[in-house]
Amino acid sequence: MEFEINAIPALSTVNSAVLNLYSHEEDVAGTISLYGYVGNGIFQDDDFRDANKNPIVTFMPTPNSLNEIIVTDFIQNLVNSGGDFAGFQLRQIGERKTSLFYSSKREDKRPFLEVDYTLPIPVPPTALLLVSGLIGLVGLKRRLG
């Protein structure tokens, strides 16, 4: 699954990022590893290869409920590198059991990514700082002189 994140301006600080997944009825079993990758808005076979080698997090899903998975560091890294889409893969680990989560086809329980971020503090251009300093020196010289 992929989520567009290009609305988050470069250099923003990601305060929190939570991937929300609704588990399906009682069909939840075992442990799940969540992997992340830089997406492109299109789900394709290469995404399986491109996912991080290490999981972002491993969790035990809660049956028939919303599972909130913290992905703050992963999203911050994507924002820092200019990624436009955050991609996620779920992989069952251990015994072969089945865990089902709702997809985007179920509007009321589709997966969603919540990101809270702080805009970067604008840094004045160097030339503006230089001109401001020169004006300040001229004003100081006039007062002293």
pLDDT tens digits, 68-86: 999 999 999 999 999 899 9
pLDDT at 18: 97
Residue 17, pLDDT above cutoff 80: yes
Entry pTM: 0.74
Provide DSSP, the chain.
Answer: -EEE-TTSPTT-EEEEEEEEEEB-TT---SEEEEEEEEE-SS--THHHHHS-SS-SEEE-PPTTSEEEEE-HHHHHHHHHHT-SEEEEEEEEESS-----B--TTSGGG--EEEEEEEPPPPPPPHHHHHHHHHHHHHHHHHHH-
Residue 63 structural domain: 2-144
Report the number of distinct structural domains present in the chain: 1
**Mean pLDDT confidence for 76-103:** 80
Which of 19-23, 25-29, 50-54 is predicted most confidently? Answer: 19-23
